[in-house]
Amino acid sequence: MTDLIAQVEAMTPEQREGAITVLDAMSRPLQAREIESFLRAGGVPRARAIKLAGELKRWHIIAMMGPEQ
């Protein structure tokens, strides 16, 4: 793997802006409804998932993993 810093330094300003846009979109914190839907998919009852999602959204979670289906 090449040096990441060297790759970024070699980018044009337009490429850097595009990379930042993609990173920002992919690393945004999940919304409460997204967290709730992941919890529901994992078998958490709706009422409990809503309460948990309300609390977990404060943690600025960017990804959730669960059991394989």
What are 14-68's pLDDT values in tens digits?
999 999 998 888 888 889 999 999 999 989 999 999 999 999 999 988 877 766 5
Q: Are 35 and 62 in contact, with CB atoms under 8 Å apart? A: no
Residue 41 domain-assigned (yes or no): yes
Give the per-residue pLDDT at 11.
Answer: 94
Give first-to-last CA distance, the chain, whole Å: 32
The boundaries of the domain holding residue 36 are 31-61
Structure tokens at 60: 């600025």
Residues 16 and 35 placed together within one structural domain of the fold: no
Distance CA 25, CA 17 (A): 12
If one counts the domains in the chain, the total is 2
Give the per-residue pLDDT at 63.
Answer: 78
Report the 10 Å Cβ neighbour count for 30: 19
Residues 40 and 51 placed together within one structural domain of the fold: yes
Residues 22 and 41 placed together within one structural domain of the fold: no
Residue 24 domain-assigned (yes or no): yes
Residue 40 domain-assigned (yes or no): yes
Residue 18 domain-assigned (yes or no): yes
Closest among 1, 65, 69, 67 to 35, alpha carbons compared: 65
